[in-house]
Structure 1
């Protein structure tokens, strides 16, 4: 229990202190009009309060990610606590802050546009493709799961449930953000947080011993921590999906100082949720062996349902069903909204996307393939979300690093986690079963060579963008 509360305290301290350092490095200015005012269109560019932005951002980036991913990541043992805390404070929250604030500074630009501006047109072309694939995969995966559960507990068939969910998706995608998302999602975000806190309180008073971090139990089992843990627990530590969602809220910010509370704050809250569910998975089933058996028998949804109902009773059952159905849907619809915004930027030179009818015409070509992918098995889809997701996160960190380098700011805050994540994704694609499925040591060698090449490129960029004597003092002061 000491480890759990220590990790929780570190996450809170990370927000209180490190987020302020990140904000100082970025440099905020509340005198500059935000895109919500400068480009207001009553659809995407609509001013909203920071607390609404925070809760909507939390719901958009979370869904079931910090629950399912944390439960699966708990199989690695208490080392999962380390990754959630360190990953969240120094990588994920930095990633989310810069993705939101850079979008805001560039008129609400989508992530691929930021990549193109700071990493070049070839990187932008690659990211445009992989971001759209990620959005469609997430939307499909987060539709298939709820539709399957609806079909199991109601007379409604899977296909009818799928049609109903996609009907909602299209409506939520084309409506102004303040009409549906702005009114309902803050409440749903609060419910997500309440659900996690209720589980945490019940777990503390359950009498079950929480695992403490020791050298003997750091990582039970045979699963290699590197790089699997960093892909298994993405939501709650660092997730590339978040940088595709941040521009949605960046277009609604009233002032720049709200960014720390919205973007860094929402990521830390997600880290807290992941920490709670990782602890619940290890504690409730008396260790990783019991958790592994429960996951094999009922999957993540079965584990979440059992924990919720046992610890919280009837209310827990209601919350579990609510969470497994509603939360993925609310992430899926914003994934489709983001893909609509990305595609809108791509075709903006040839096709103006103003007006609901034109927005609908942009949305339909995205919704159709997503609908058909949703008929594929959920677990199969989710396997391909993982690596794609972390590749996007890596590119966002490098984009932030180049932004800081070009502006003579303290680039290490994003550069170091960028190198780390480069190592993760470079090895994972060669080692993982859904990748090339190579031997561990061969994949490690190839991944190391790729990472070294990227580090050398980074070193060259540092030399190229070395600050002149005029800005040396300011650079060193930060």
Structure 2
């Protein structure tokens, strides 16, 4: 229990101390009007209260990633919890804060336009394609996962739930943001927090299961994978949403268009990521504790993290409580899937310069997205998840480099973004070079050396070409 509480305490301390530092480096201007007021359109740009925007942001970013990812990561042992804490504070929360605040400073623009502004047109074109593909993958993953859990709960055919979720996604994607998302998601956010706290308390008071039994300090630096799978760099790809996730860069602009004041940014963007980190810690701890360690977890998972969710929820909270907990888990991907398609629509609207104030124009972009999404649902879930993981972290890398370039141009402390960007670049390049299924299948040592060289080269090149460049007056606080 001590280790778990220490990890949670570190995350909260990270929000208070490092979050305040990051906010100071960025330099907020509480008197500056946000896009919610300067570009109000009643559809996507709608002012909302600080608390409401926080809960929506938390639900938008917290799909199955901070649950399935940490459960899969728990197979490596407590090292997964260490990465959640460090990654969340110094990479994920920084990533989310800048993806949101740069959007606020640039009229609510999406990540491709931000990348184009600070990294150049090639980065913009690359990000337009990459972000749209990522969002489609996210939408598909966040249809298949909740549909599977609903089928497991009810015994009904999974295709029925796939169809129902698809219809809901289409409606939620095209209606004004305050009609469904603004009204229902704060309630769902509260349900999510209640579910997470409930499971934690149940585990703490359980007489059958103890929290992190037998864990030693050395276990946090040891690979305990029962199949001897290498921790580097797979762990940093597997645990995405709980530590750092490029998907969040596509979601933060949604709330950047609704935030009433720049001073709310730390709570909304940095704070929501810390909240997601705590959720990830809870599920990582449950996975390690409920099954008595990595060996039991591997057996209980049987290749599907959804089995862990179902068994742990019903085992700790009983039939009714477990049913409610699983429903809470189902809410997560559904409330991220619809905003994934919504983000894709907005990214395409910016690319084609197609205003979205008319329903017909929203449908013109939404329908093709859903057709492609429907086709992708026929692909094996495991295959989609692997591609999603790599695409997700690659998007995070580009967003961190965008934020780093912004800080360089403004002669601010860019290292708070450059260091995590360099590390995550190394992770992604190493993984792609080493992976036999998704990449080149090169030896790990060679892949790692190449990853470090490429990451350092990118950092050096950005420093030489960006630092000191003139910035537009409109960017200044």
Give the TM-score normalised by the residue count of structure 2. 0.93
Q: 3-state DSSP class of the match of 1:398?
A: helix
2:342 paired residue among 325, 337, 360: 337
State the 1:457 CA deviation.
Answer: 1.3
Give the corresponding residue for 1:273. 279
Q: 3-state DSSP class of the match of 1:215?
A: helix
CA contact (8 A) 1:137 1:385 kept: yes
State the 1:42 CA deviation.
Answer: 0.4
Separation in 1, partners of 2:161, 2:236: 33
1:394 paired with 2:397, answer yes
1:258 paired residue among 249, 259, 264: 264
2:464 paired residue among 454, 460, 467: 460
Q: 1:13 to 1:81 in 2, by over 3 A?
A: same
Q: 1:352 to 1:466 in 2, by over 3 A?
A: closer
For residues 215-230 of structure 1, the aligned pairs below 5 Å read 215=218, 218-221=222-225, 222-230=228-236
Give the corresponding residue for 1:426. 429
1:309 paired residue among 314, 332, 337: 314
Q: 1:2 to 1:466 in 2, by over 3 A?
A: farther
Separation in 1, partners of 2:173, 2:385: 23
State the 1:466 CA deviation.
Answer: 8.7
State the 1:417 CA deviation.
Answer: 0.6
State the 1:152 CA deviation.
Answer: 4.7
State the 1:431 CA deviation.
Answer: 1.7
Separation in 1, partners of 2:321, 2:446: 46
Q: 1:34 to 1:215 in 2, by over 3 A?
A: same
Give the corresponding residue for 1:358. 361
Give the corresponding residue for 1:381. 384
Q: C-alpha deviations, 1:320-345, integer Å up to 9, x for none?
A: 43134332111110000000000000
Separation in 2, partners of 1:448, 1:264: 28
Give the corresponding residue for 1:372. 375
CA contact (8 A) 2:288 2:297 kept: yes
CA contact (8 A) 2:432 2:438 kept: yes
1:182 paired with 2:186, answer no
Separation in 2, partners of 1:173, 1:466: 38
Separation in 1, partners of 2:283, 2:161: 28
Separation in 2, partners of 1:294, 1:265: 33
Q: 3-state DSSP class of the match of 1:166?
A: helix
Q: 3-state DSSP class of the match of 1:226?
A: coil
Q: How many residues are treated as equivalent by the alignment?
A: 463
State the 1:141 CA deviation.
Answer: 1.1
1:210 paired residue among 186, 204, 212: 212
Q: 3-state DSSP class of the match of 1:28?
A: coil
Separation in 2, partners of 1:213, 1:195: 28
Give the corresponding residue for 2:475. none
For residues 439-454 of structure 1, the aligned pairs below 5 Å read 439-454=443-458
CA contact (8 A) 2:247 2:396 kept: yes
CA contact (8 A) 1:384 1:434 kept: no
Q: 3-state DSSP class of the match of 2:261?
A: coil
CA contact (8 A) 2:422 2:456 kept: no
Q: 3-state DSSP class of the match of 2:199?
A: helix
Q: 1:336 to 1:209 in 2, by over 3 A?
A: closer
1:238 paired residue among 244, 264, 279: 244
State the 1:391 CA deviation.
Answer: 0.4
Separation in 2, partners of 1:283, 1:153: 23
State the 1:151 CA deviation.
Answer: 4.1
Q: C-alpha deviations, 1:283-327, integer Å up to 9, x for none?
A: 111111111111226x10111111111111123321243134332
RMSD of aligned residue pairs (Cα, Å):
1.7
State the 1:153 CA deviation.
Answer: 4.6
Q: 3-state DSSP class of the match of 2:394?
A: helix
Separation in 1, partners of 2:42, 2:5: 43
Separation in 1, partners of 2:239, 2:178: 31
Q: C-alpha deviations, 1:53-80, integer Å up to 9, x for none?
A: 1111110100221111111111111111
1:282 paired with 2:284, answer no
Find runs of 4+ consecutive structure 1 residues off by over 3 angstroms: 148-160
Separation in 2, partners of 1:191, 1:328: 14
Separation in 1, partners of 2:436, 2:290: 29
1:142 paired with 2:142, answer yes
Separation in 2, partners of 1:23, 1:220: 37
Q: Structure 1: which 5+ runs fail to align?
A: 468-478
State the 1:383 CA deviation.
Answer: 1.0
Give the corresponding residue for 2:161. 161
Give the corresponding residue for 1:471. none
Give the corresponding residue for 2:416. 413
Q: 3-state DSSP class of the match of 1:257?
A: helix
Q: 3-state DSSP class of the match of 2:232?
A: helix
Separation in 2, partners of 1:152, 1:225: 31
